[in-house]
Every structure is written in structure tokens, then in C-alpha cells.
């Protein structure tokens, strides 16, 4: 009976993780479509319903007209056009609230029924707190685009996305702990190398968030060369030098390319040394597919469909390496 209950909890955590997966993809779409700055206020407790009357829609629209995005990008747009960008951001925020309920209510039930051991109550409650903190961080990110420039800070965007990946991985890992108990590859696969691949995948994703935040994917739309050069000029044109890795479009795109290629090569090498292990095959496969999608996204100048697929691919890569490390290290 206890094993059955733990597997139910594991499946519940996997379900919440899939909701977070969809949340990340939906968040990427709001950014790609310019919808992320359409809601200029934040009501975490009372903001469950959209405007329900023409007067309420007009009030929300008037608030938006005071934002830099309206003044500098969408000046003169109609109420109907505003609704088109409003709905995606509203759904993104609503989905976050639904995730909170999907996690919080079953958690209370499992604790009250005694299904969760005392050792696991605190970690699970910690995941709930992390989810709430992610919502706060999301609003902190949005606020950066509501002041002077109608673009969110690439630093806050990267932090928001990076934190989402940490929360997602924690849900997957904890779900595996409940569902499986222990991994099956301890001693069979080098734990240091598997951890290196997980860390490198995370750093590559973080670098990709900087690319997104600076719209760096809209430049140098060739591969493998950048403007006809393998190593482009202008990598360190800004000062101090370290800011180039966060604010120089050339450097930001170049480092994402280098990290992605390094991850691809190391994943293939890792597979060749452990090709008999299914999860290692999965890791290598998703990395190769992600590389193809990433290159196609770049060459086609970041169409929304491919860009969204690329972000989802990053989550799949991170999922695979999280799973691998659980099997190796738990």
C-alpha cells in the first residue's frame, strides 16, 4: 500500500512538472508575440478573471496606454488589437495560478492523510514556496519593461527562465524519488561526467535566455559562420570586458553557439562510451534534435513556431539529463 501511495505522489509530481513545462513554453510565446507587457499591473490573489465588460476592457486598455510599449511600439492600436495581445499574457498568469492549486491542494491532502513521510514534508513545501517565488520573479521581470524601454531586462528574463528550469528539475527529481525510490545506474556511469552534461545544458539554456532577451537571434543568421567569420569581430567591443557576455549581441550569440556545440560534442562522446544504456541514448538523441532545431531557428530568422519549439527542446534536453543524473546519483 505504501509503495502504491508513493507512486501516486510521484505521478502527481510528474503531472505538475508537465504543467510547468507548458508554462515555460507559453511564457516563451508571450515574449515572442510581444504580449508579455500587455498587463501592466499584478494581482496575484484577485486576478483570476479577465475583464468582463466593455468598461473594464477600456479601463485596462487605458492603463496599457501609459506603458512604454504602447507609446513606442503599438501607438494607435485599437481595443480589439489590444485584446489580441492581452489574452496570451492573461492565460500565462492564469496557468501559473492553476499550477499553484494543482500542487498546493493535493499536497495538503497527502500530508493530512499521512501519505508523506515527515522527512519529505519540508522539501515538498519548499517546492510550493519556490513556485510562488517564481511568480514574484516573473512580475519583477515584467516591471523592467514598464519603465522607459519596452523590453524586459535580459538579466531578469534569464533569471526567470533559469529559475523555472530549477523548479522543473526539482519536480522531476522528487517525482522520480517517490515513483522509483532509487536509480539503477550507480557505478555504471561516470557521475562526474553526467553532472557536467547537466550543468552544461543549464548554462547553455541560460545563455539562450540572454539571446532571447537581447533579440540576438535576429542577427548573424548564418551557420556555422557569423558574418562570414568563424570567430566574429566585435566580441569585446564593450567595456568593462565581462559585460560583453551579457550585453553585447555578438558575444551573446557566439557564446550560445559555442556552448551548444560543446554540449552536442560531449553528449555524442558520452553516448559512444555508454551506448548500451537507454537513457544515455535518449540524452544524445534530444541534444541532436535540439541542435537541428536551433540552427533552423537561426537560419529562418527566428519564426515564432520554431523559436517556441526550440525552447521546448531545451526543456526536453534538461529533462533527459536530470533523469540521467537521478539514475546515476540517487
The answer to the question of whether 160 is labelled as a binding residue is no
pLDDT digits (tens, 9 = 90+) for 233-256: 999 998 899 999 999 999 999 999
Q: pLDDT band for position 4 (50/70/90)?
A: confident
- Checking if the pLDDT of 207 tops 80, the result is yes
Residue 93 CA, chain-centre distance (Å), reads 15
The reply to whether 310 sits in an annotated binding site is yes
Residue 65's alpha-carbon distances to 29, 60, 93, 114, 201, in angstroms, are 22, 9, 20, 52, 40
Backbone angles phi, psi at 33, to 5 degrees: -95, 0
Q: How far apart are CA 68 and CA 64, in angstroms?
A: 9
Give me the mean pLDDT over the 135-159 stretch: 88
**Domain positions in the chain:** 1-181, 184-330
Mapped onto helix, strand or coil, the DSSP state of residue 290 is helix
Question: Three cell numbers at 103?
Answer: 500542487
pLDDT the model gives residue 1: 66
Question: In Å, what is the CA distance from 316 to each residue of 4, 203, 278, 298?
Answer: 27, 15, 15, 19
Residue 15 has pLDDT above 70, yes or no: yes
Whether the CB-CB separation of 19 and 99 falls below 8 Å is answered with yes
Count of positions (residues) in the chain: 330
Residue 124 binned pLDDT confidence (cut-offs 50, 70, 90): very high
**What is the C-alpha separation between 115 and 48, in angstroms, rounded?**
31
Amino acid at each position: 500500500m505504501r509503495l502504491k501511495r508513493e507512486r501516486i505522489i510521484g505521478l502527481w509530481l510528474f503531472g505538475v512538472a508537465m504543467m510547468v513545462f507548458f508554462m515555460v513554453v507559453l511564457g516563451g510565446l508571450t515574449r515572442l508575440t510581444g504580449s508579455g507587457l500587455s498587463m501592466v499591473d499584478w494581482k496575484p490573489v484577485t486576478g483570476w478573471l479577465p475583464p468582463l465588460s466593455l468598461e473594464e476592457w477600456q479601463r485596462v486598455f487605458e492603463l496599457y496606454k501609459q506603458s512604454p510599449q504602447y507609446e513606442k511600439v503599438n501607438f494607435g492600436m485599437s481595443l480589439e488589437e489590444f485584446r489580441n495581445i492581452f489574452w496570451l499574457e492573461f492565460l500565462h498568469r492564469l496557468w501559473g495560478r492553476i499550477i499553484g492549486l494543482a500542487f498546493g491542494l493535493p499536497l495538503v491532502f497527502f500530508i493530512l492523510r499521512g501519505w508523506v513521510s515527515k522527512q519529505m514534508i519540508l522539501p515538498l513545501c519548499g517546492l510550493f514556496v519556490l513556485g510562488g517565488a517564481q511568480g514574484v520573479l516573473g512580475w519583477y521581470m515584467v516591471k523592467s519593461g514598464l519603465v522607459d524601454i519596452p523590453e524586459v531586462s535580459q538579466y531578469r528574463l534569464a533569471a526567470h527562465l533559469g529559475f523555472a528550469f530549477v523548479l522543473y528539475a526539482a519536480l522531476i527529481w522528487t517525482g522520480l524519488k517517490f515513483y522509483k525510490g532509487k536509480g539503477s545506474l550507480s557505478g555504471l556511469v561516470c557521475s562526474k561526467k553526467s553532472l557536467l552534461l547537466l550543468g552544461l545544458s543549464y548554462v547553455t539554456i541560460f545563455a539562450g535566455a540572454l539571446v532571447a532577451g537581447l533579440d540576438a537571434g535576429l542577427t548573424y543568421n548564418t551557420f556555422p559562420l557569423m558574418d562570414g567569420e568563424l570567430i566574429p569581430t566585435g566580441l569585446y567591443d564593450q567595456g568593462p570586458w565581462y559585460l560583453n557576455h551579457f550585453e553585447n549581441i555578438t558575444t551573446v550569440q557566439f557564446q550560445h553557439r559555442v556552448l551548444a556545440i560543446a554540449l552536442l560534442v560531449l553528449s555524442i562522446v558520452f553516448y559512444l562510451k555508454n551506448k548500451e544504456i537507454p537513457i544515455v541514448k535518449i540524452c544524445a538523441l534530444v541534444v541532436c534534435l535540439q541542435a537541428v532545431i536551433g540552427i533552423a531557428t537561426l537560419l529562418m530568422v527566428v519564426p515564432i513556431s520554431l523559436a517556441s519549439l526550440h525552447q521546448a527542446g531545451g526543456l526536453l534536453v534538461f529533462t533527459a539529463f536530470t533523469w540521467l543524473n537521478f539514475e546515476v546519483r540517487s
